[in-house]
Amino acid sequence: MKMWRILALITLTGLPMRVLAENADLEAKWERQRLANHLKLLEKIKLNDAAAHARIMAAEAANDQTALKELVLHEDGDVRQAAVFKLEDQETLAGIARNDSESDVYQIAMLRLTDQTLLAEIAKHGDNRAYGDNGKRWGMHIWAVSKLTDQALLAEFVKHEDGNVRAAATTNLRDQTLLADIAQNDKSAYVRIEATSRLDGGQALLLDIAKNCQDDGERRMAVEKLTDQAQLLDFAKHDKGVWVRGTAAGKLHDQKRIAEIAKHDASDDVRLTATLHLDDQTAIAEIVRNDASPRVRWAAVSRLDDQALLEEIAETDNSMEVRIEAASRIDGQEKLLKIARDGTYEDIDRIHAVDEILRQAHLLEFAQQDDDKVVRRAAIRNLKNQALLAEIAKHDPDVPSRLAALGVLKDQAVLTEIAKHDTNARIRLETIKALKDQSLLLDFAKNDKDLMIRRAAIRNLKNRAALEDFATHDADADVRLSAAVMLDDQARIADIARHDQVKTIRLAAIHYIKNQESLLELATKDKDGEIRMEAVNWLDDQAQIAEIAKIDKDERVRRAATARLKDQALLEEIARNDAAPNVRRPAVAKLTDQTVLMEIVANSKDAQERHAAVCNLTDQQLLAELATTEKDDHVRQTAVSKLTDPKLLAEIARDDKNVWVRSEAVSRLTDQGQLAEIVKRHEHTSVRNVAVRRLNDPALLADIAQNDSDAQVRITALIKLDDQALMAELAKHDSDKDVRRVAITKIRDDTFLADVAKGGKHADARTEATARISDQSALADIVKSDDNRKISDMAFARLTDPVHLADIAKGGGARSIPAVYKLDDQTSLAEVAKIDGAGFVRKIAVSKLDDQALLADIAQHDKHAEARRWAVFKLTDPATLTHIAANDASEQVRQEAVKRLNALKKD
């Protein structure tokens, strides 16, 4: 089949090439779009294979699920897609999603699949067939996980080896304890960030993550959730991560602190974020004038009120974006007019200036005469002259300019003329939206050949009889839907909900029904389960809802009704007696009777149902029984998470066969002796990590950090410590790179950082320590003495002290030239300029000098003629130059002085 025909069929059926949506709203939108385009496409598309077209139409119209299954089994791809889109049976859809070889077919099945157990099966089988687009493609098993909402199933998948699976599961997870564990311990930074974003509170935990996590993304997410201003200020000023500092700065309240960060932070991104939160006009003006980054200046201009400064920036700033922002904030019309007219400005500046101009004569000038179409459109949007707007709307060769005129045109006669006679469909459509004449709108709604025009006219109609006629009889489904939405007659809306041939219109009509009797009739008597389910969602009477929950033959309807029940006796009855696990589960999730819940745990064969029951248990005796005897690991873990008996928790932590159950028990222990014993004896790293996090004894934690055989356990211990000497020792000598890195991040004292930088056993630790040192003497020492070029370069890059830079520049080594280039201090430059030898270094120093007294001293007294000549070239005092021209011992210096005098005279 040719590609254009395939595309036509896909449009006809509303099925995209790549199914990316995962929610019912978008699914409904596709269905509405399919119906809206139905007749139009039948008229316009000429299909060669009429039989294939007929089969597709039959599949779309079919309500018989058996017939639809037959079509899926025996027809070609396009027909199969249409049939799958109408299938409702979850088992059948799951089978297609698992086994079908055609990507569009199995993706549509997956889109329609909602059953949590079936989704979990697909997720567990690790189906790697691709879905997705725009260069990002995932396995079907990950899509299945992302559709799960059942918390018990999600908790299982957060243990998966695949980080993408864990991340997908974490997205819908609500258990705060489990999320906290993932945020702290998962091996994937992406998963940890997702878990951190889902945490509801727990400032202590968030602070621990923000301080100690190695990944900037996770730390930034934790900082985003912090509220303590002192903590946020500390992160904003001192954190090494740009994202973290910026996030913290954006949450500060103190304007003085924000201004300090906005002016002095080394990162453009941090300064920009801080500037956007500034209100202090003095600080904002300082940033506008002095910041080197156009982005930061733009942010400052967006907060600036000073009109004089805005005018100056609009004319002089070297960044187009900054000038645009300044121009848009200028109140003075003459200045704006100058900017809009001045050909030296870039067009985008002119557009923004025109947008701010108020005087109609000036706007007319730009609308009629400007060579730039975009500038013209900006002027047209602000015009009020209706005659001129009409001319532009009817005759301008530039369609966007015509649309701009239509946006402000109010003359209904002109609008009518355009709507009737214009040949451009887009122009007509925009015109229809502005029409008010009801008879004219009715004529368009009835007779226009363009369906888009008819729908636009319907949406402006106020004639109820006409709307009812359209809602009942129109051949175009979207026209019927548009009319139905406009109606407010409850009887008519109820009739549409009962009888319209298109299900999406019926479903939409239900939303507008206020009469409970009409809703009850739909909820109990309609043949379509989806209609009954939607109606149940709008019922108020608990007795009616209860009756539906007990007797409806469609488990989807019973489940919807059960989810709205409040009566515990009714919920218990459903939880005990309903044949469908999908109905029993929401009932169990709302039960509070401990005996009933325990019976369900003991007798139910559905794992999700049993887990839902355990989640509502509070009786410690019942929980203890489950925690020690239950065979299902996840149910047992949930029971343990609710236990309070420390003795029993210790036994479970020691003896349970499942590592996650043991970890859960350990996370609830407080006895330091028991925790220490678990750290020493337990064979599983994750359990030992949990125990270490619960320890408080600094001596014991220090021993673990230094001596434990597992690097991850050592890291967990050292994160809880603050001993700077210990951190330095670990950074210098630990065998694991990650342990060394974490230790360095916890060192705040430059003395210890310098100790690591100079005495560390591993180059990576020495480099990282150097990157965190701020003490200039220590950095200078490393520059001079370290043989490792990478470490020496790192130290030199952080060196800013002029005394140390001058010392290096005078030393004559390989760093002399870059050191003098970094110098700005005039006194230090003068010292370098006077050293013996190193002529090029001295020349650079002199070239950077601006202090005339220092230059005069070198020009008159330096023993090297070349240095005197370099200084003469920068002198501006005629008397000093005259003296040198007459008296210097070097002819070259005297000649340079004469040249400099002549140049000054010309200036």
| pLDDT value at 670 more than 80 | yes
Which has the minimum average pLDDT: 186-200, 336-350, 502-516, 569-583?
Answer: 336-350
State the pLDDT confidence band at 607, using cuts at 50, 70 and 90: confident
Mean pLDDT within 487-505: 83
Mean pLDDT within 652-656: 87
| pLDDT value at 673 more than 60 | yes
Quick: pLDDT tens for 169-198.
888 888 888 888 888 887 877 788 888 888
Mean pLDDT within 802-822: 84
What's residue 340's pLDDT?
A: 58
What's residue 838's pLDDT?
A: 56
What's residue 531's pLDDT?
A: 92
Alpha carbon separation from 762 to 708, 724, 759 (Å, rounded) = 20, 19, 9
CA distance 268 to 656: 53
CA distance 815 to 806: 11
Longest Cα–Cα distance of the chain, Å, equals: 117
For 650, the token pair is 């210790």
The DSSP line for 119-171 is HHHHHHTT---EEEETTEEEEHHHHHHHT---HHHHHHHTT-S-HHHHHHHHH
CA distance 479 to 231: 58
State the pLDDT confidence band at 521, using cuts at 50, 70 and 90: very high
State the pLDDT confidence band at 522, using cuts at 50, 70 and 90: very high
Alpha carbon separation from 890 to 609, 866, 883, 895 (Å, rounded) = 101, 9, 13, 9
State the pLDDT confidence band at 221, using cuts at 50, 70 and 90: confident
> Could you identify the residue written with the tokens 């922002």?
325
What's residue 9's pLDDT?
A: 32
Quick: pLDDT tens for 75-87.
666 777 777 888 8
Which has the minimum average pLDDT: 330-334, 814-818, 880-884?
Answer: 330-334
Higher pLDDT among residues 525 and 308, named by residue: 525
Mean pLDDT within 232-237: 89
Count the Cβ atoms, other than its own, within 10 Å of residue 250.
19
Q: Are 769 and 745 in contact (CB under 8 A)?
A: no
What's residue 376's pLDDT?
A: 74
Candidates 737, 695, 734; CA nearest to 716 is 695
What's residue 77's pLDDT?
A: 62
Quick: pLDDT tens for 833-883.
877 665 778 888 888 888 898 889 888 988 888 888 888 888 988 999 899
What's residue 671's pLDDT?
A: 87
Q: Are 222 and 207 in contact (CB under 8 A)?
A: yes
Quick: pLDDT tens for 683-741.
888 888 888 888 988 999 999 999 988 888 898 898 888 899 999 999 999 999 989 98
| pLDDT value at 271 more than 60 | yes
Quick: pLDDT tens for 358-375.
556 666 666 666 767 777
Q: Are 536 and 559 in contact (CB under 8 A)?
A: no
Mean pLDDT within 289-295: 87
| pLDDT value at 422 more than 50 | yes
What's residue 432's pLDDT?
A: 87
What's residue 170's pLDDT?
A: 87
Q: How high is the mean pLDDT of the chain?
A: 80
pTM: predicted TM-score of the whole model, two decimal places: 0.45
By percentage, how much of the chain surpasses pLDDT 70?
85
Candidates 475, 478, 473; CA nearest to 458 is 478
What's residue 126's pLDDT?
A: 56
| pLDDT value at 445 more than 70 | yes
What's residue 226's pLDDT?
A: 87
| pLDDT value at 33 more than 70 | no
What's residue 702's pLDDT?
A: 92
Quick: pLDDT tens for 127-160.
555 554 333 345 778 888 888 888 888 888 888 8
What's residue 585's pLDDT?
A: 87
What's residue 735's pLDDT?
A: 92
State the pLDDT confidence band at 10, using cuts at 50, 70 and 90: very low
What's residue 157's pLDDT?
A: 84
